[in-house]
Amino acid sequence: MGLFGGKDKSGGGAASNERVPRHSSGWGQILQRMRGEESLRVLDIGPTSSGNINFITALGHSIYLANLVEDAARREWVLPQEDGSPDRFDVERFLAAHLDFSGRGFDVVLFWDTADYLPEELLSPVLTRLRDVMAPGGQLLAMFHAPPAPGVVKPVLAKSDFNRYHLTEGSVVEAQRMGEYPLLHSYTNRLIEKLFEEFKAFHFFLSKDNMREVVVTR
């Protein structure tokens, strides 16, 4: 993870998978704010994208990156319990390794669909940490896979495409498949509100696909 205050100079390589555009009213709202304000600090949660870095810095903002889903899936964070009880996730060590921002605060957090993939014991501490490092009035964009339709039963650990989301100039993001991870949660709108109950306000957006979006305000 790292902080970028200027143009990315890595050049980046060609995309290995197709980018699929999807309408995102939530990103459209965030983009409107980013065009109207100066020197915002943006936290992009997910696989590193040189394109996102260039896009945000070209608007005059700085960007910080943290890849939580792929790292949380590694066995190194699991603490086996000698008494035979279920294994425990090492939450504090994970937060220290991935969400220690050395006093930096953020105006925008692009959380994407991260919540659907994080272990249950990690999700609430992650959201609390993000709220703590967001400036008053800061906004967070989150996406959630829609729960199964009534009568449809899905496996508890059904795997789903895990995407990198590329930013664009309008209310569209381009999803690029990066792999598969189990969907660990299924949230109704009421449960989503519960997740963000420590935040000041939230705004849901309708979607034509199987994803729902919400922008929450600190």
* pTM of the entire predicted model: 0.86
Cβ neighbours around 101 below 10 Å, total: 18
pLDDT at 15: 44
Percentage above 70 pLDDT, the chain: 87
Q: Mean pLDDT score of the chain, rounded to an integer? A: 86
Domains with residue ranges and CATH for the chain? 2-8+16-217 (3.40.50)
Percentage above 90 pLDDT, the chain: 66
CA–CA separation, 7 and 59 (whole Å): 11
The mean pLDDT of 107-114, rounded to a whole number, is 97
CA quadruple 110, 101, 66, 166: dihedral sign? positive
pLDDT one-digit tens code per residue, 137-193: 999 999 999 876 554 445 444 577 899 999 999 999 999 999 899 998 888 889 999
The mean pLDDT of 119-132, rounded to a whole number, is 94
